[in-house]
Chain A
């Protein structure tokens, strides 16, 4: 048993002759104490809450899986879920392809001013989500934004970012703007770890630039792609900041249940339905964890090939 997991964790390059004692806890302990307070306890508390309901008479009562049954048949929840799913399926691939393209361009040695572009494309990541959404929100606006300038120039309302049918696109644009740089950096760091003799060998074999990209570079960043995908999936399911900050600008389009997270937030802080909100949060947590796990499995399976 012991040797078993020394072997698995030992692949990190640690010498086996190190003593196995409790000293390590002095370093790991403080982190774990805070971690227990802000991660494990709330998680357990949320599970506990999800099995109870506030009754008008008699206070809190154990209701078993009633809250879960309610959520599974709640059309507002599923509408919100469907919305983030569409968002996920369309926005994440666009963002990751842009990020990978930018990383490959920066890594290709064929681009002038690569370090300038690298820092520039990464820049939006440093901009707080609130500021990013406020900026884009004003730009989208029909009062003094660029959209208004553009529409005035054309003489009719060509762009309507706050219309019902364009809202997800408008949000997707903000999220893409914010996170392409971050994902680009993940891919770029991963590309930098490919040994240069691989390229020399490929070049000797007569592989061109595109061939090198598809046969060497993209397979080499598969791990980074899996990680970036998982982060993006988690991010999409958690979508909150962007729609919540845009909501005052388009209150009729962005409902209180626009995304599952907004739904849970509004249930608890506007509706005082803490138990049901906790149930929604747990269901979303389970779905996210399952999808992240499947992506990871598929990612590592194809890696072995």
Chain B
């Protein structure tokens, strides 16, 4: 046994920088293709007319190039409802995800850096609640919000988006590791208030964690479907996800008016901003997550 392993080890000179493996590369390329196929299909399909969709191979262009026609049609369909949905989504993301990030950052920091009565109860309640399926709460939340007159308003989507237990956990771990208690005490001796210290000193130290939480809450609110589906009945308040699904369903049933080309272009437009955000902020969220997993 040991001999066999020894022989293997002598083949590799540096354990930290071994020879690159072609087999591994091929396996990963195959997986990468699986990941890419639907997205490539979407890209090609966005250049086709409805007739072209039916008459051409999915992973190549059709005879006519209708990308810009589709783009224009998506924005002008039904007096530009797509633009309205985009605006709604942005509203839900900015207020919902922004608020969620702020609340989670403050709470995670508070749990990491302060001793206060009920701290343990906060932990137990928040972590325990994570195990309760979020969608299981959807029906009672809907009933509750309709009693309060909040359904069919943006608040019905924004308020539930404000809570991110995962964000709280991540910031708690992050604050414990990266905000030295000595620094806070020094600020206190200098006479700085707790909030002033938080906003001027601690938040800067927490920045990579905050970007990570922000990115994940942005994805969660941008992609949110179930909550707005049950809360909203007026298409004027729909986010992109619910609106796109409504467009897609238009192709079904008697007297249907399929607008496949618009659904496909709309899908593409829905993906692009979030993908760009991820690519641009890569460095931040990857370091933020690594720090977050130290605790595991």
Contacts and interface: CB of A to CB of B under 8 A. Distances in A.
Nearest to A211: B5
Nearest to B110: A27
Chain A: interface size category: 35 or more
Interface in A163-219: 177, 181, 185-186, 189-190, 192-193, 196, 199-200, 202-203, 206-209, 211
A139 B28 contact: no
A127 B15 CA distance: 37
Interface string A117-140: 101111111111111101111110
A185 B289 contact: yes
A26 interface: yes
A170 to B, nearest CB: 13
Chain B: interface size category: 35 or more
A38 B296 contact: no
Contacts of A5: 120
B225 A190 contact: no
B139 A134 contact: no
Interface in B42-89: 42, 45, 53-54, 57-59
Interface stretch (A67-75, A88-96, A277-285): A277-285
Nearest to A47: B140
Contact of B132 (A192, A278, A289): A289
B192 interface: no
A40 B125 contact: yes
B236 interface: no
B136 A110 contact: no
A112 interface: yes
B133 A284 contact: yes
A162 interface: no
Interface of A is mostly: helix
A143 interface: yes
A81 interface: no
Contact of B39 (A30, A123, A249): A123
Nearest to A220: B296
Contact of A123 (B8, B27, B115, B275): B275
Contacts of B15: 199-200, 202-203
Given A238-B135, A288-B131, A22 B8 contact: no
A305 to B, nearest CB: 17
B9 A227 contact: no
B263 interface: yes
A180 to B, nearest CB: 8
A207 B9 contact: yes
B198 interface: yes
A167 to B, nearest CB: 17
A105 interface: yes
Interface in A17-68: 18-28, 30-32, 34-35, 37-43, 45-46, 49
B41 A49 contact: no
B115 A126 contact: no
A269 interface: yes
A18 B119 CA distance: 14
Interface in B176-230: 176-177, 181, 194-195, 198, 219, 222-223, 225-226, 230
A134 B31 contact: no
B149 interface: no
Contacts of A269: 230
Contacts of A206: 2, 5-6, 8-9
B270 interface: yes
Contacts of B54: 143-144
A223 B296 contact: yes
B32 A120 contact: yes
A238 B139 CA distance: 13
B176 A14 contact: yes
A173 B182 CA distance: 51
B110 A49 contact: no
A98 interface: yes
Contact of B112 (A12, A108, A208): A12
A286 B250 CA distance: 38
A247 to B, nearest CB: 9
B106 interface: yes
B153 interface: no
A155 interface: no
A128 B241 contact: yes
Contact of A46 (B140, B242, B271): B140
A185 B277 CA distance: 17
B293 A240 contact: no
B222 A128 contact: yes
10 contacts: A18-B181, A26-B195, A27-B107, A32-B107, A112-B20, A131-B267, A139-B58, A207-B9, A230-B131, A238-B134
Given A138-B45, A241-B225, 19 more contacts: A14-B115, A24-B110, A27-B114, A30-B106, A30-B107, A102-B31, A110-B20, A111-B21, A119-B282, A121-B35, A127-B275, A128-B222, A131-B271, A144-B54, A146-B41, A177-B38, A203-B15, A227-B296, A261-B136
Give me the 3 closest cross-chain CB pairs, A-B, nearest first: A27-B110, A24-B114, A24-B116
